[in-house]
Structure 1
Amino acid sequence: MPSSTPLHTPFCDLLGCRYPILQAGMGGVARAELVVAVAGAGGFGCLGMVRESPDLIRQQVDQVRALTSNPFAVNLIPSATDPDLFRAELDECVRLRIPVLMFFWDVVADAVARAKDAGCLVIHQVGSVEHAKRAEAAGADMIIAQGVEAGGHVHGMVSSLVLLPQVVDAVSIPVVGSGGFASGRSLVAALALGAHGIHCGTAFLATKESFAHDVHKQKILSATECDTIHTDAFAINWPPHSNVRVLKTEVTESIESQPYGHLPDKIPRRVVAEEQGRPIYWMSTDSPLKSMTGDLEKLAMYAGQVTGQITQIEDVQTVIHRIVAEAEATLQQLSNRS
């Protein structure tokens, strides 16, 4: 439950957590073990259930609830999911009484309305001021403003430093900063820009509790801030022109001279891995998971530019407590300067 700390913000009151640190709903990577660990360390966890079956959603929710009584979110993406599957996902979340739903990409007002009618809090991740306004108008309770330096799917072209204060000024609901946030100093910076907290993906992907495959985690450890690429080449499974930020690998060498303009329908279906009988294609949006086998180095290695700050695989509690301790120390240093 929330308690008074130097970092306490309305984010903590709204979501029922101790620290204003929101774990990204990384599809596939954010499973029950990660969510429970984030909740236990005082942050707010989110199950990444994009394009997953209602059965898997139910299984993962049951696992979370068996291990923690803390609230959590489920991340769904309407515009990247078959409409029938999305309706089934949302129906299952409503049936399970999920307290918070996190949406991303295009603002689908009907989805927000359905979630709100069911009593859910809605967090909407956006990449522009215009989409932030649309999300608020649709009924969202909180906005995640994602800068272009973020890992995974990226919906805008503006850096966090520029986007975050503009979104804060444009809406009346709490805003969370995303993209470039993995430290206590960056948490303080986000608060100074008007945010109520931070949204972290790469920092939690590279933890012991993450469902990412070790090959992905190790790639993050060896990468610097210059070792990512922003591209729409990993296109299979998503709408055309959906940009992502991934680590540079042998796969990306062939597209670095032309990172944009890759259409899903034009990409040959080459199976490079499998997950419990499901084929995983080269240049798909699938990232390497513990449940996959095959040539995993040919898959999308999502990571933000903060990858240069991550030098070892740690448990979630260590990561969160370090962010909090550094943030509190930074606030004290700033106070001492006055």
Structure 2
Amino acid sequence: MTPADRALLRTPLCDLLGCDLPILLAGMGGVSRWELAAAVAGAGGYPTLGMVRESPDLIAAEVRALRAATDRPFAVNLIPAATDPTLLEAQVARCLDLGVGAFSFFWDVVPAVVERVKAAGCLVLHQIGTQNAAREAEAAGADVLIAQGIEAGGHVHGRTAAFDFAQEVRSETRLPVVISGGITDGTGLAAALALGASGVQCGTALLATDESFAHAYHKRRIVAATGSDTVLTDVFVLNWPRGAAVRVLRNSVTAALGDRLFDHDPEGLPREAIARDGDQPRLRFSTDSPLRTTEGDLEAMALFAGKGAGRIPDIVPAGERLSRMAEEAASLLAQTALREGSMA
């Protein structure tokens, strides 16, 4: 990729975050571990370690492993609404002790947490799904807003299409706005930049890579899927607040629901172990997705995937996925600039 191509893709967000490409790795819990984060950083993107509900010791181990692999900047993703307050306090404290320079938060905006890490000099990226949440995050001190659309895989906060929502957010803020949801290739990246977004965040496209910590079964299912093979439901809700919807690949659990995809009370769901990660049971209806270390009924677990799954043809190194996206986007933007120049 030539310097001119990279210049077409570079936005002020790259200077703020210290990356070369405006492509962010989503902080996928369990999946976005140090190996994937390092690969994304090495390819010029901006990595996020997905550390929701993880122990402070695991966070420390992941941060140290990532730093041993790369000297590029990164963020740590925590989710206050889905984390016991005592554990959240310990997570934040350990991150600050480690000198983590950026945090990525999601779901409900918790001003006290944002303000605490900002006071320590950290950058804050906040993923939001509603205009009200965008306002709350900005008021709390966020530096970057990640506008998540309904097309996204995993936990989905809002119900608006990603590009439409990003335009709504941009109309009310001067902060950098990143689009998340269904973006898996250079066409999506080019469209986001043409819209005026500062960058994109990718989850599903980077889950299906060699370095992700997802189970090979999950990766294969994504490659074989189309966007219509995903479904939005709140049945995989154990460990999260009631009503927290997720986009997953259809499986035996969603098939058994029929038309009743929503309104599942976690208090009323059975606690049945269907898989394990070492000595940790994984429950049917939990938000746990199958990882490299998982054994058991993988098919019945939450197989997170966004609507862009149909445009992911293979499992490749994360660096190759980013390079493909960047080269395709740069080519499309160059063609657009050439057409506009010829018409001037």
TM-score by shorter chain over 0.5:
yes
SS of structure 1 residue aligned to 2:8: coil
Describe the superposition over 1:117-160 as per-residue Cα deviations: whole angstroms up to 9, x where unpaired: 11110000000111111100000000000000000000000001
Matched, 1:277 2:279: yes
Describe the superposition over 1:164-218 as per-residue Cα deviations: whole angstroms up to 9, x where unpaired: 1111111111010000111111111111222100000000000000000001001
In structure 1, C-alpha distance between the alignment counterparts of 2:288 and 2:172, rounded to whole Å: 34
Which structure 2 residues correspond to residues 88-103 of structure 1 after superposition, within 5 A? Answer: 88-103=90-105
Partner of 2:249: 247
Which structure 2 residues correspond to residues 175-254 of structure 1 after superposition, within 5 A? Answer: 175-254=177-256
In structure 2, C-alpha distance between the alignment counterparts of 1:231 and 1:281, rounded to whole Å: 17
In structure 1, C-alpha distance between the alignment counterparts of 2:97 and 2:175, rounded to whole Å: 27
In structure 2, C-alpha distance between the alignment counterparts of 1:185 and 1:293, rounded to whole Å: 37
Shift of residue 276, structure 1, vs aligned partner: 1.8
Shift of residue 75, structure 1, vs aligned partner: 0.2
Decide which of 31, 34, 37 is 1:32's aligned counterpart. Answer: 34
Partner of 1:324: 326
In structure 2, C-alpha distance between the alignment counterparts of 1:308 and 1:283, rounded to whole Å: 25
Partner of 1:14: 16
Flag structure 1 segments of 5+ consecutive residues without an equivalent. Answer: none
Amino acid paired to 2:286: S
SS of structure 2 residue aligned to 1:236: coil
Q: Which runs of 4+ in 1 moved over 2 A?
A: none
Partner of 1:264: 266
SS of structure 1 residue aligned to 2:103: strand
RMSD value, Cα:
0.9
Partner of 1:168: 170
In structure 2, C-alpha distance between the alignment counterparts of 1:40 and 1:76, rounded to whole Å: 23
CA contact (8 A) 2:182 2:309 kept: no
In structure 2, C-alpha distance between the alignment counterparts of 1:256 and 1:219, rounded to whole Å: 21
Amino acid paired to 1:265: E
SS of structure 2 residue aligned to 1:161: helix
Amino acid paired to 2:337: S
SS of structure 2 residue aligned to 1:280: strand
Amino acid paired to 1:282: R
Describe the superposition over 1:263-312 as per-residue Cα deviations: whole angstroms up to 9, x where unpaired: 11110011001112111100100000011111111100000000000111
SS of structure 1 residue aligned to 2:313: coil
In structure 1, C-alpha distance between the alignment counterparts of 2:336 and 2:305, rounded to whole Å: 30
Describe the superposition over 1:241-266 as per-residue Cα deviations: whole angstroms up to 9, x where unpaired: 00000001122101241110001111
Decide which of 51, 56, 70 is 1:68's aligned counterpart. Answer: 70
Amino acid paired to 1:254: A
Amino acid paired to 2:146: I
Describe the superposition over 1:34-93 as per-residue Cα deviations: whole angstroms up to 9, x where unpaired: 000000000001100000000000000010011100010100000000000000001011
Amino acid paired to 1:50: V
Moved more, 161-170 or 26-35: 161-170
Partner of 1:56: 58
In structure 2, C-alpha distance between the alignment counterparts of 1:202 and 1:120, rounded to whole Å: 27
CA contact (8 A) 2:207 2:214 kept: yes
SS of structure 1 residue aligned to 2:87: helix
Which structure 2 residues correspond to residues 16-165 of structure 1 after superposition, within 5 A? Answer: 16-165=18-167
Aligned length: 336
* Aligned residues with identical type, % of pairs: 51
SS of structure 2 residue aligned to 1:212: coil
Q: Using structure 2 for the length normalisation, give the TM-score.
A: 0.96
Decide which of 305, 312, 316 is 1:303's aligned counterpart. Answer: 305
CA contact (8 A) 2:74 2:101 kept: yes
In structure 1, C-alpha distance between the alignment counterparts of 2:120 and 2:97, rounded to whole Å: 9
SS of structure 2 residue aligned to 1:226: helix
Which structure 2 residues correspond to residues 285-296 of structure 1 after superposition, within 5 A? Answer: 285-296=287-298
Flag structure 2 segments of 5+ consecutive residues without an equivalent. Answer: none
In structure 2, C-alpha distance between the alignment counterparts of 1:220 and 1:150, rounded to whole Å: 13
Amino acid paired to 1:60: E
Amino acid paired to 1:310: I
